[in-house]
């Protein structure tokens, strides 16, 4: 793979890695992936403020951990306790068999790769390389299936849901929207029921009348955009948050 002119990397060890990682997490816009084969409550509690900060800013935190031998009762208890803490914070956790890689991805820009388990580390000497490289992120995401978070991939398609909820939010019936756009009401009914496809030109007419716009969004940012849409439908959300008593 050719090296981009914007690509650069730095090497960190166990003494300065966490400070740099937490700084990267504080700047994340939509996604933080932590591929840490082992999990311990002690290290998760240390990382908790950084994780909570991400989640408070609507940044997804997806954790991948390694499957443990069912006969190792103590290790499984530690893992289950760790998973419970992470999920109570709002992080996604996916357990799967596979390679023992330690990786962090921040949005589509930063990849950390090395030997340090960021969610179980205690006191060993380890190294991590920080790559500022979209190409490295894409390569690692594909190779290690970092886009296969169970919680994220189970999300239903939002297009039809968005159209229905926006129409209802504006107080329009199917008949109203059909009349305003010239789209046959039976076609609109089938579309909202997921029983038919429509031409892009027809979809554009519907979306324009609903005061919306079609845009392409990077896959990693889709849940963030979905969340912003959900919040926009709460008529009192912004007033209550910013100006309420």
In this prediction, residue 240 carries a pLDDT of 41
**Residue ranges, the chain, pLDDT below 70:** 1-6, 155-158, 233-245
pTM of the model: 0.72
Cβ atoms of residues 170 and 141 within 8 Å? no
Cβ atoms of residues 16 and 140 within 8 Å? no
In this prediction, residue 245 carries a pLDDT of 39
Domains of the chain in start order, with CATH, are 8-153 (3.30.870.10), 159-236 (1.10.260.40)
In this prediction, residue 235 carries a pLDDT of 55
What's the CA gap between 14 and 33, in Å, rounded?
19
Cβ atoms of residues 24 and 110 within 8 Å? yes
In this prediction, residue 236 carries a pLDDT of 47
In this prediction, residue 92 carries a pLDDT of 96
In percent, the amount of the chain with pLDDT more than 90 equals 61
Cβ atoms of residues 111 and 104 within 8 Å? yes
Cβ atoms of residues 113 and 102 within 8 Å? yes
């Amino acid at each position: 793979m050719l090296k981009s002119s914007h690509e650069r990397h730095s090497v960190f060890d166990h003494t300065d890695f966490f400070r740099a990682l937490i700084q990267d997490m504080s700047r994340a816009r939509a996604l933080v992936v932590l591929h840490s084969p082992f999990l311990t409550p002690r290290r998760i509690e240390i990382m908790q403020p950084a994780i909570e900060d991400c989640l408070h800013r609507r940044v997804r935190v997806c954790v991948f951990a390694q499957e443990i031998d069912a006969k190792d009762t103590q290790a499984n208890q530690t893992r289950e306790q760790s998973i419970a803490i992470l999920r109570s914070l709002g992080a996604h956790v996916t357990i799967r068999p596979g390679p023992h890689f330690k990786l962090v991805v921040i949005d589509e820009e930063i990849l950390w790769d090395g030997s340090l388990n960021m969610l179980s580390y205690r006191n060993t000497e380890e190294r991590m390389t920080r790559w500022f490289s979209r190409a490295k992120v894409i390569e690692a995401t594909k190779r290690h299936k970092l886009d296969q978070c169970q919680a994220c991939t189970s999300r239903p398609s939002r297009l039809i849901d968005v159209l229905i909820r926006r129409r209802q939010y504006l107080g329009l019936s199917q008949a109203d929207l059909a009349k305003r756009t010239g789209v046959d009401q039976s076609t609109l009914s089938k579309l909202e029921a997921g029983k038919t496809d429509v031409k892009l030109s027809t979809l554009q007419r519907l979306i324009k009348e609903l005061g919306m716009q079609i845009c392409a969004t990077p896959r990693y940012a889709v849940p963030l955009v979905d969340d912003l849409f959900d919040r926009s439908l709460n008529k009192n959300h912004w007033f209550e948050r910013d100006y309420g008593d």
